[in-house]
Amino acid sequence: METIIPVTDNLPQQPRFKVEIPTTRELSIETEDQDPTDYKVFSDGSGLDEGIGAAAVIYRRGISQPIGHLKAYLGPPHHAQHL
């Protein structure tokens, strides 16, 4: 895994997406039900079986199955701390 620093000509530009992390499962479901956007990306990272990984899944409104996903194994916990 290589860390790449993105370069842009317009640093103060605001992101075109919104990040939300509801505090409870119930609030997460309620927020999801009320969100009118056409595409949603959900991401997570964790450590399991002595390894660190990350994943992202994209959904489109009205389709119950994901239309795409990405996953990455970042390495053992002692290596991932330096990324």
CB 15 within 8 A of CB 41: no
> Taking 60 as the threshold, does the pLDDT of residue 83 lie above it?
no
Give the integer Cα–Cα distance in Å for 37 and 20: 13
- Is residue 18 one of the residues assigned to a domain? no
More confident residue, 5 or 62: 62
Domain with 74 in it: 37-80
Strand partners, 53: 46, 73
Task: Indicate whether 1 belongs to any domain.
Answer: no
| Average of per-residue pLDDT across 2-24 | 74
Does the structure show a pLDDT above 80 at 10? Answer: no
Q: In which band, very low, low, confident or very high, does the pLDDT at 48 lie, cut at 50, 70 and 90?
A: confident
Whether 2 is in a domain gets the answer no
How many domains are contained in the chain? 1
The structure's pTM equals 0.61
pLDDT over 70, % of the chain: 83
